[in-house]
Amino acid sequence: MGMSTDLKHRGNSHRNVSIILLLAAGLAVALTNGQDARSPGKPHVIIIMADDLGFDDVSFRGSNNFLTPNIDALAYSGVILNNLYTASMCTPSRSALLTGKYPINTGMQHYVIVNDQPWGLPQKEKTMAEIFRENGYYTSLLGKWHLGMSQRNFTPTQRGFDHHLGYLGAYVDYYDQTYQQNGKNYTRGHDFRLNLNVTHDQVGHYVTDVLSDAAVQLIEQHSSRNSSQPLFLLLSHLAPHAANDDDPMQAPAEELAKFEYIRNETHRYYAAMVSRLDRSVGQVIDALARQQMLQDSIVLFLSDNGGPTVGEHSTTASNYPLRGQKNSPWEGGLRSSAAIWSTEFERLGTVWKQQTYIGDLLPTLAAAAGITPDPDLHLDGMNLWPALKYGYESLEREIVHTIDTNPASPYLSYTRGKWKVVNGTTNAALFDGWLGERLTQEVDPRSANYEELIRNTSVWQHLQLLMGSQSERNISSLRQQAQIECPESSAATKPCLPLLAPCLFDIDADPCERNNLYEEYRNSTILLDLLQRIEQFARQAHAPNNKPEDPQCDPRFYHNEWTWWQDEQASGAGRLSSILIVFVCFWWIF
């Protein structure tokens, strides 16, 4: 397995002048469009999303294997979302975030958009970015999109974002921003853009740093040029997702050196990749504080799904003590380690146990900004802002995690209140076990002074300054509350074999999904009601949008760039370019 550091890819993450100028130009355009009045009560909304981060890979969950002090400081200062559910894979999860709808209602439920597949988030679906922009926000996406690129109108700046710096597909190399399609004989293609324009300025720079620096630049430019307009920023990191299969684990040498005590090389790289992500959170909070925007901001950190411990794109991510991993119906694939902060919260420094779905974030954050989404959008997400603001936890939430009727491997995962139904699974049940663990013999040296470490972060200090009388926090108590406790198995424990029969769990009592209650409840009104509700959702589900691969995507047709190939083919530009090259070659030979 190849591993990369910045010694292999020379360069640094200094600010790029062209990016600064274009950011400034973009903000100037927003001003000239008349979006320059930030109404009272419209906060800046900052969402920092990790990619494939394991549930237990933030140290506020209790692990001392490697620490995430900035993320932890944000969590302890704000509200830890102990039961935030996402979809189990990138594309469905991101579609739910941006539309406020279950993937089954937008056709995004079956697997992810592979780079060579010509489909995307349906044009009829209105995104969170569009809603916020219509209500006076400057909207920016930094990083991953993964909601379609075969046509230009699938891409971020056509779906509500005023500005985008990042990549359109599934993932890229951390240093050269290229993507190699597995199992296909396509040319390895570059995938990084500034708005609609290809940019190679970032080649040689570590992409986590590129995106972090861009976020800092955006905040600085926004504050200096347009302090009256609210900012909506989705910082959608690559980290800690694996890169291409020939070199999946990549981190700067100085970050890697902090984790020499970790013997497993892959895991050492993973710790460094997460650590660089943690550094990014600190940089964003610092920038908001410097520009005096922090007190008027909502800052949310989350992962798009659980981590892949083993199998495809595995990184040693841990979802301990939960069952399963990414791309599975189990809690380990569906629960995100998340935290949110705002001066509006009356109970800061708490662990919120209310069940929450990623699709709730659109109506919830919109409500925080005084925005009421159009009822005709028929959102599945619920406005939980009042409950979050005042710390209520009494709402029974229904969540359709997945209903996938793919004949090859149909499965479903559904929760209502404490009850969860699983029927069928993914990957022939290969990854249905309890895959994560805590390596208690390999401990981050900083853990000996954990509380001091947290209190010395700039994140903690910035946030505490704004808290006043709420500033006292019992970090050890909060850390203990954020951990998931699972009962031990006993002789009475009944296993779940979802390929043979449905399974029923009491998630409140059994969050690790060890004890299958299906036989006990199979004739009860509880289970019958759940199954009827699932059947209702299944009947109304949107057919999957997935389409087979299109070889015309091959980057070799488009100067080795991943691009909106259907538009290029329609215009003849891509094919004409190839024909001209062939013609010139023949002319030179003869």
What is 327-349 written as a DSSP string? Answer: SSSSHHHHEEEEEEE-TT-SS-S
Q: Which residues contact 135 (CB under 8 A, 6 or more apart)?
A: 42, 369, 370, 371
Residue linked to tokens 């069928």: 424
CA distances from 22 to 135, 195, 561 (A): 23, 10, 21
pLDDT above 70: residue 64: yes
% pLDDT > 90, the chain: 83
pLDDT the model gives residue 440 = 81
Contact 318, 307 (CB under 8 A): yes
CA atoms within a 13 Å half-sphere pointing along the CA-CB vector of 22:
17
Asked if the model's pLDDT at residue 239 lies above 90, the reply is yes
Q: CA angle at residue 231 from 125 to 119, to 5 degrees?
A: 25
Section 173-179 average pLDDT: 98
pLDDT of residue 470: 57
Neighbours of 443 (CB within 10 A): 17
pLDDT confidence of residue 573: 55
Q: How far apart are the first and last CA of the chain?
A: 45
Can you tell me whether residue 27 is helix, strand or coil?
Answer: helix
Q: From start to end of 255-313, where are the E strands? A: 297-303
* 198-213: average pLDDT: 98
The predicted structure's pLDDT at residue 583: 45
| 27-61 pLDDT tens trace | 444 443 333 344 556 999 999 999 999 999 999 99
pLDDT for 464 equals: 93
pTM of the model: 0.91
Burial of 203 (0-12, 13-18, 19+ CB in 10 A): middle
Residue 177: partners with Cβ closer than 8 Å, 6 or more residues away: 167, 190, 191, 192, 202, 203, 207
Pairing of strands 79-85, 335-341: antiparallel
pLDDT > 70: what percent of the chain? 89
Q: What is the pLDDT of residues 69-106, one digit of tens each?
A: 999 999 999 999 999 999 999 999 999 999 999 999 99
pLDDT at 585 over 70: no
- Are 78 and 348 within 8 A, CB to CB? yes
Q: Does residue 6 surpass a pLDDT of 90?
A: no
pLDDT at position 567: 96
Amino acid, single-letter form, for residue 110: H
Q: Is the pLDDT of residue 22 over 60?
A: no
Whether residue 457 is predicted with pLDDT greater than 70 in this model: the reply is: yes
Residue 329: the pLDDT is 97
Q: CATH classification of 3-395+449-466, choosing from 3.40.30.10, 1.10.645.10, 3.40.720.10, 1.10.10.10?
A: 3.40.720.10
Q: Which of 47-51, 170-174, 585-589 has the lowest mean pLDDT?
A: 585-589
pLDDT digits (tens, 9 = 90+) for 540-581: 999 999 999 999 999 999 999 999 999 999 987 545 454 444
| Confidence at 393, pLDDT banded by 50, 70, 90 | confident
Give bridge partners of residue 81 from the DSSP assignment: 338, 352
Can you give the pLDDT at residue 40?
59
- Scan for tokens 């004409």, then name that residue: 576
Task: Write out pLDDT tens, residues 129-139.
Answer: 999 999 999 99
221: Cβ contacts below 8 Å, ≥ 6 apart: 20, 23, 24, 27
Q: Which residue's entry shows tokens 């941006």?
A: 98
Give bridge partners of residue 211 from the DSSP assignment.
none
* Locus of tokens 């949310």: 300
Average pLDDT over residues 523-551: 96
List all residues 6 or more positions away from 536 whose beta carbon is below 8 Å from its beta carbon. Answer: none
Q: Are 570 and 585 in contact (CB under 8 A)?
A: no
pLDDT score, position 490: 83
- The predicted pLDDT at position 36 comes to 38
Burial state string for 332-362 with b = 16 or more CB within 10 A and e = fewer than 16: bbbbbbbbbbbbebeebbbbbebbbbbbbbb
In sign, the C-alpha dihedral spanning 10, 11, 13, 16 is negative
Tens-digit pLDDT profile for residues 297-326: 999 999 999 999 999 999 999 999 999 999
Of 174, 72, 181, 45, whose CA–CA distance to 550 is shortest?
181
Would you call 114 helix, strand, or coil by DSSP?
A: coil
pLDDT at 374 over 50: yes
The number of residues making up the chain comes to: 590
* Calpha distance 35→182 (Å, rounded): 44
Output the six-digit token pair for 171: 């993932």
Top pLDDT among 174 and 19 is at 174
Q: Where are the domains of the chain?
A: 3-395+449-466, 551-589
Tokens 């769990």 belong to which residue? 505
pLDDT given at position 409: 85
Residue among 195, 109, 183 nearest 155 (CA): 195
Q: Which residue has the higher pLDDT, 8 or 481?
A: 481
Closest by Cα among 156, 159, 249 to 206: 249
Closest CA to 168 of 116, 240, 107, 97: 116
DSSP code for 187: P
